[in-house]
Structure formats: C-alpha cells, structure tokens
Amino acid sequence: MVRKWSFGVLNDSDAEDVPGTVLLLPEYAVAPTTIALAQHLKDEGRRTIHGILLSPSPDISLNDPLNWPLRRRNAALLALAIYCMLGGGMPPLLAAGFEEVAHTFHISAPKATITTGLFELGLGIGGILVMPTALLFGKRPLYIITAAVFFLASIWCAVSPNFTHLCIARIVQGMAVSPVEIFPSATITEIFFLHERAFRLGVYTLLLLSGKNLIPLASAIVVEDLGWRSVFWMLTVAVGCSMFLLYFCLLESYWDRTPWPVFHGIVLEELPVNMHRNLPGASVTVKSVASDCEGSVTPPYTMPRNGPFNPAVTQWPASSKSGGTPYAEGKVIFERHHNEPFDSGFPEKNDSSFLEYKTSYDSATSTPPNERKRTTNIPIKQSYTDHWRSAPKRSYQEQLALFPGRLTSMSWSKAAIRPFILFAYPSILWSALVYSLSVGWLVVLSESVNDIYRNIHTYNFTPIQVGLVYISAFLGSLFGTAIAGKVSDLIVRYMAMRNGGVYEPEFRLLMAFPVAICSVAGLMGFGWSVEEHDNWIVPTVFFGIISFGCSLGSTTAITFCVDSYKEYAGEALVTLNFSKNIFHGLLFSMFFPEWLEAEGSKKVFVAVGIIQLACLMLTIPMFIYGKRARMWTARKNMMRKF
C-alpha cells in the first residue's frame, strides 16, 4: 500500500519507486519498501562515516571517475570553477565602460548595452551546439576547444575596428563560453556522490556568480586607467592560464552507470533492470562498492539466493485482481542509477529481442555453469564504459588525450533535440523558470547599474565607483551560495529522517521561500530607493540582497533539476541556460534600458518584483505534485525516441 503523502509531497498512487527518489538514510527506513529492498544490497563498506549510503554506486573499476582519488576530483572542481568564474563575468564585463565604448564608436550608451544581449544570444546558440557534441564525444574536448575559441574571440574584441565587429565577436565569445553554464553541473554529478554534490555545486555557483560581480569591478579599474580595449587583452591572458589548468586537471568524467544484473553467471548487460526480478533462480550481484577513503574499493558482494531481501525472489504483492506483478501490470519499478538512458538497447516485453532473451535464458539454464556465459547469444555491444570497465587502470598520461573516442552511437541531430523535449518535464520547466529569473535579473541589473549610478541626476559615479558597487553583490553571492548548499543539505537530511530515510528532490524546494523574500524585497527596494534619491548605500545594500536571493535561487534550481533527472543532467542544463539566455537575457536586454529610461526605476523594479513573486508562487504546486509529475514523465518516457 503506497502512502498518500511523503512529508507534504503527494505520492504516486500506483508506484512507490519513482525516478529521483532515493533511500538516503536506510537506518530510518520504517518498512521494506521497494527502495529499501534495492538499497539493502549495499553493504557497510559503501557508507560514509556518518552512515550515509554512497549514491550512485561506483564500479569496481579504478577507471570509474567516482573511484578517482579525492584530490584529483577536487582539483578538477577547482580548475573548472576558476574557468567558470571567468566565463560568468563575461555578460557584465563592460558594465562600467558602456559610455567609453559609445564614445569610441560614436553611438549612444543604450545602444552599446546591446553587446550584453548579443553575448547572451551566443550563449544560447552555443549551448545547442556543444551539448549534443559532448554527448557523442565527451565533455573534456569541448571544454578545451571552446576555451581556445574563447581565447581568440577575446583578442578579436580587443582589436575590433568598428561596433559591428565588436558585436559579432561578442556573439562568438558567448558561444565559446556556453559550456561554462551547461557542463559543470553534469561534470560535478559524474565525479561526486549525492551527499557531496550540494556543497560542490555551491562552490561552482559561487565562483560563477562571483565572476558576474568581481570581474565588472576589475574591468572598471582597467577602463578608467587603460581604456576598454585593455579589458579584453587582460582577459585573454587569464583565459590562457585557465585553459592550461583545464587541460591538466579536468579529465573526461563520462561513465555509463546502467547496472549489470547477474544470474547463473550470465551478465545481462542490455536487459531491462526489472526483467530479472521475474526469473526463477536469479540472484543479484553488486558489482562494485567504494568508501569515502581515497582509493578504497571494496570487493563485490552477492546477495544470497535465499536472502529475505533479494528482489529476485521477493514475492510481489498482487497489484490487481489478476494477481500480476508490477512489471506484468505495466507498473514499472524504476532503478536509480541510469545516467545514460538513450540507446540502451533494452528490449520490450513482447518484441523479438525479448523472445531471443528467453531462448538464451532457457539454453543457459540447461548448460553447465562454466559454459553458460559463452553459450548465451545475448547481443553485447562494446561501449566506451564497457571497454574501460574491464581494462587496466589508465595512467594519467593516457587520460590527458584530448579525444577519448565516440561515447554513443546516437545521431547528432537527435541529441540536439533532447534539451527541447525536456520543456515538457514539469520539474525541469520549473527549474528553467527559476534559474532564468535568478541569473537573468543579475544580467539586467548589469545593464542598468551604469545608467543609474553614473547619471548626473542620481549619484554621478566614476567608472571605478560603479565597479565598487559590485562588492555588495559579491558579498550577497558569497553568503547566498554558502547558505544554499549547507542549509539545503541540513533540511534534506532532516526531512529524509522524518520521511523514513527516503529523500525526495522536492525537499529542496523549501529554499524557494527565502529566495522569494530576498529577491522580491531587493528588486523593489533597489528601484524605489534610487527614485527617492536615497543615499547611495541604500540601493547598494539592496543590490547585495538581490544577489543573495538570486544565488539561493540558482543553486536551488540546479540542484532540484539534477536530483530529479540526474540521467538527463547535461541536457537539462542546456534547457535551463537556453531559457535564461534567450527568453530572459536577450529579450530583456533589447527593451529594458529604454523601459527604465521611460518609466523610471521605481515602476520598473516594482513590476519586476511582482513578476518574480508570481513565478515563485508556482513552487507550492510543484512541491505537492512534483513526485507525481516525475512518475508521469517516466511513464510517458518522451525522451525515448530521441
């Protein structure tokens, strides 16, 4: 009997094991649920010193990125975060220098701000191009190649002979920087366990948003002393150094985590995860386990054939009058560790490959054990992960190769469509909305800060004084990211304890309430105080509050999205950033400066605050119905065709 509620989250009426739902604290489990049965297979060697089970399950192979030494994983995070800080600072790079750019090319200052919107356009276009390429060939080559293009585009910006060249160069620069907003969350998901991710995602978000706040400060100093072209020359040097770190620290992190159920010595590499549950005599083998200690890998563990919690022999309760199993009734129990759902080769129950499987199973069970594996005719396709799973440990020099090989046989065009299919997934749609608002308002502010603070009728600041305003935003981002990661983890752990040890991604949504309070109050207060000609410190403090709320919002949106559909993490980040760059960054930049000039800061920012509040109110139905929405998308499986 499925409980109706899970700590305020409405459960699916037919299925208990839903994609994204994880037994995080098994010692608090109150009943042998299907999640508990699956997690019972994990022995004590796969727990942290605090008793938290390691999720996802690492392979026994030392080539699995989850089995890399902690120092290597942290070095990859550091190199990535530094590069993200540079990329994150690109939209407001010229925030304090728009008047100088306008003077150089004999245009108006509002027209010069369009370079920010064009950069956002480049980010959106680039994301569509690099994501499918990364799915086929890996993220490492894309990181390094786009960093090289970023390097060259920065030189182009520095030597632009006219405004048209500068605009085109900024679009190319945006396309090159696009991996900064798309790949890092997926990379962090691939090299860190579930209980480690929130803090690491917080570090990434902190440096990304810090770049948006500190780089404008640095560029303001350079603009005032050396001119706006020198900003791009110094950026070129920084990108070159960062590219060096990426090459030597950020190795390919792709690893297919589709489980390999084993029975009677037959490895079913391309069998549906639940089909083996209905087979007589099946046993379940845990292929690999790892501990928190560096380089520590424990041996395989096989659940006894007659074990009380062996899913292969568990008697399923009747799910209907016919007494069928959940699989037979079409109520599929979903396994947690699918990071690569496409091109799986899983046969349907009634298709020819299922009959081929049945024949091979019957043949195998009538064959001596030492001959069964070679007599089965199950087609096994050697993939990238299959190859390195059975290969000796790769040396560091081998992993420095720029191209690891083709990772999947999927076509590029189908891979390019996948991020747009995810707009039909309610959890990802909510995340895209909140992420677009959280990061988008900071981009909009970067276009208005120059006009507001350098206006002779308000504060008449110099470029360097405008840059110093971003210190407030940086402090807001710093505190916001720290709180978003740590407090969110504490809330999740507490709610999982109260929910029988089971974690639901919707638990992350409680952070939306401080997001709403801080961002709405900050936006309205900022515009109101400027129009009332309050002392410069008042809108500056509100600027910091906006940044604090937006940091909470962006971290919450990314974490909720990745936890709900970790198998689609890469595509989902494209969806989020496409929404932010096109629907928010580009469109708002096209009319926001004129809107601000025509209506005044009070009306504009009060309206923006109302938009923010109205959108965040959607968190309430998302929290209640989010789990059912996840199960609905699992049943529809819209990504299957792509």
At 351-402, the pLDDT tens digits run: 433 333 333 334 433 444 333 333 333 333 457 888 888 889 899 999 998 8
pLDDT at 339: 39
Domain assignment of residue 376, yes or no: no
Give the pLDDT mean for 148-168.
96
Give the pLDDT mean for 306-321.
37
| pLDDT confidence bin for 239, thresholds 50/70/90 | very high
Task: Please determine, for residue 526, whether its predicted confidence score (pLDDT) is greater than 70.
Answer: yes
pLDDT at 304: 38
pLDDT at 56: 80
Closest of 637, 633, 619 to residue 9, by C-alpha: 619
Task: Please determine, for residue 549, whether its predicted confidence score (pLDDT) is greater than 60.
Answer: yes
Task: Please determine, for residue 244, whether its predicted confidence score (pLDDT) is greater than 80.
Answer: yes
Q: How would you classify the pairing of strands 22-23 and 9-10?
A: unpaired
CA distance 159 to 21: 52
Task: Please determine, for residue 290, whether its predicted confidence score (pLDDT) is greater than 70.
Answer: no
137 vs 27, more confident: 137
Range of the domain at 516: 65-255+416-641
Task: Please determine, for residue 233, whether its predicted confidence score (pLDDT) is greater than 90.
Answer: yes
Domain assignment of residue 131, yes or no: yes
What residues does 289 pair with on adjacent strands?
298
Q: How far apart are the first and last CA of the chain?
A: 35
Share of the chain above pLDDT 70, in %: 75
pLDDT at 166: 96
Domain assignment of residue 17, yes or no: no
Give the pLDDT mean for 301-320.
37
CA distance 321 to 502: 29
Average pLDDT of the chain to the nearest whole number: 77
> Is 622 in contact with 423 (CB distance < 8 Å)?
no
pLDDT at 139: 93
- In single-letter form, the type of residue at position 117 comes to G
Q: Identify which of 117-126, 249-258, 308-317, 512-521 has the greatest average pLDDT.
A: 512-521
pLDDT at 185: 81
pLDDT at 16: 65
Query: Which pairs count as long-range contacts for 277-283, CB under 8 Å and 24+ apart, including other chains?
Result: 277/311, 277/312, 277/314, 277/316, 277/325, 277/327, 277/333, 278/325, 278/327, 278/328, 279/312, 279/361, 281/305, 281/365, 282/312, 282/313, 283/310, 283/312
| pLDDT confidence bin for 3, thresholds 50/70/90 | low
Give the tens place of pLDDT for each residue, 23-36: 777 777 665 554 44
| pLDDT confidence bin for 75, thresholds 50/70/90 | very high
What pTM was estimated for this model as a whole? 0.69
Q: What 3-state DSSP class applies to 134?
A: helix
484 vs 343, more confident: 484
Q: What 3-state DSSP class applies to 600?
A: coil
pLDDT at 380: 37
* Domain count along the chain: 1
CA distance 155 to 234: 10
Domain assignment of residue 187, yes or no: yes
Q: Identify which of 127-131, 301-305, 427-431 has the greatest average pLDDT.
A: 427-431
pLDDT at 296: 36
Closest of 225, 265, 267 to residue 378, by C-alpha: 267
Domain assignment of residue 554, yes or no: yes
H-state helical runs in 306-425 = 352-365, 369-375, 384-390, 396-399, 412-421
CA distance 440 to 434: 9
175 vs 386, more confident: 175
Domain assignment of residue 406, yes or no: no
Give the tens place of pLDDT for each residue, 412-457: 888 889 899 999 999 999 999 999 998 888 878 877 888 889 888 8
pLDDT at 250: 94
pLDDT at 291: 37
Domain assignment of residue 379, yes or no: no
Task: Please determine, for residue 205, whether its predicted confidence score (pLDDT) is greater than 50.
Answer: yes
Q: What does the radius of gyration of the chain's CA atoms come to, in whole angstroms? A: 26
Task: Please determine, for residue 45, whether its predicted confidence score (pLDDT) is greater than 60.
Answer: no
Give the pLDDT mean for 268-285.
37
Domain assignment of residue 127, yes or no: yes
pLDDT at 450: 80
What residues does 10 pair with on adjacent strands?
5
* Angle made by CA atoms 452, 453, 454, in degrees to the nearest 5: 100
CATH number of the domain where residue 449 is located: 1.20.1250.20
Give the tens place of pLDDT for each residue, 252-264: 998 887 544 333 3
Task: Please determine, for residue 597, whether its predicted confidence score (pLDDT) is greater than 80.
Answer: yes
pLDDT at 352: 39
pLDDT at 30: 63
Residues in the chain: 642
Give the pLDDT mean for 72-79.
94
| pLDDT confidence bin for 319, thresholds 50/70/90 | very low
